[in-house]
Amino acid sequence: MKGSKSGKRLPNESTIIEQAKANPARFAPLYDHYYKQIFIFIFKKVRDEFTSEDIASRVFLKALINIKKYQDRGFPFSSWLYRIASNEVNMHYRRSNRVVEVEIMESDVITLMKEMKEGEEVDRQKVVMNCLGQLPLEVSHLIELRYFDQMSFKEMGDILGISHGNAKIRLYRALDKLKKKVREQGK
């Protein structure tokens, strides 16, 4: 599927997960299959290879330590990893007291602006990006997942541990908050 971040499930994934629960040495196939996509997800958020590697290693260490607690609730295993990764990135920024920086492609901003019906002018793009940076982290995270990581509502729901319908509702509320900020600054 285009834009899919969770990729394909590992063949016999549920069997491998059960084996890893019984014997942590059996976690390796999960690590090998999902490391690259989790690393890329993190790298897009922190834009530093060393930091991304460090955070990715913490993600997989936490997954390994907590594998016995993992329950298949119909979401892909990768959703659980993305949720851990998202939390780890947020903790990284909280600990370092740094502002979250996200590399954004101009085409992604234009797509977002079309969704918001804001036009495509360059100065308007700057206003939108400035306003996005002023939103609470949870709100901007929804917009990033949808427009910059190009995830479907189902994938967003999987990562956030909510239904795809709830992900859609939360995203539209986030867009409303962004639109309000853009209108306030655009005056």
Q: What is the reported pTM? A: 0.66
pLDDT in tens, 26-67: 999 999 999 999 998 888 888 889 999 999 999 999 999 999
The Cα–Cα gap between 60 and 14 comes to: 17
**Where does the pLDDT of residue 175 fall: very low under 50, low under 70, confident under 90, or very high at 90 and above?**
confident
Give me the long-range contacts of 138-141 (CB less than 8 A, separation at least 24). 139/174, 139/177, 139/178, 140/100, 140/174, 141/86
Question: Is 13-96 a CATH 1.10.1740.10 domain?
Answer: yes
pLDDT in tens, 65-94: 999 999 887 778 988 998 899 889 888 877
The Cα–Cα gap between 17 and 7 comes to: 17
Q: Which candidate, 13, 41, 9, 39, places its Cα nearest to that of 27?
A: 13
**Where does the pLDDT of residue 1 fall: very low under 50, low under 70, confident under 90, or very high at 90 and above?**
very low
CATH class belonging to 106-186:
mainly alpha
Percent of the chain with pLDDT over 90: 32
Residue-range domain boundaries for the chain: 13-96, 106-186
DSSP state of 74: S
pLDDT of residue 5: 45
